């Protein structure tokens, strides 16, 4: 299983109810080879919305959408291995 990415950060440009977001991370050392990384939004009902995938150490989300009147949106980034096993997610949040 690949190891989770570390040092996940974000930068953004805010709009009304949605924002453009750049997410960056560092690859963890060791573990299984990494095929790509996946980013997803954790919705208020605990389901997920796929945002983007990236073979590198950064990803761009052109339109992160606010769900209802939530004060913050939770995001997760995971490393995906060659056999499509996933690391534990690393969480971050975006304050609206």
pLDDT-derived band at 13, boundaries 50, 70, 90: low
Check: CATH 3.40.50.800 for 6-95? no
Work out the angle at residue 79's Cα, subtended by the Cα atoms of residues 31 and 95, and round it to the nearest 5 degrees: 135
Q: What share of the chain in percent tops pLDDT 70?
A: 97
* Angstrom distance (rounded) from CA 75 to CA 16: 19
Question: What average pLDDT does the segment 65-94 reach?
Answer: 94
Domain ranges for the chain: 6-95
> What would the pLDDT profile of 26-58 be if each residue is shown by its tens digit?
998 888 999 999 999 999 999 999 999 999 999
């Amino acid at each position: 299983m690949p190891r989770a990415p570390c040092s996940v950060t974000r930068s953004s440009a805010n709009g009304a109810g949605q924002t453009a977001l750049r997410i960056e991370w560092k690859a963890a050392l060791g573990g299984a080879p990494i095929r790509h990384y996946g980013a997803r939004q954790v919705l208020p009902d605990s389901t997920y919305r796929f945002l983007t995938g990236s073979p590198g150490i950064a990803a761009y989300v052109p339109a992160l959408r606010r769900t209802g009147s939530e004060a913050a949106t939770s995001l997760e980034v995971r490393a995906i291995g060659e056999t499509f096993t996933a690391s534990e997610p690393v969480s971050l949040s975006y304050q609206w």
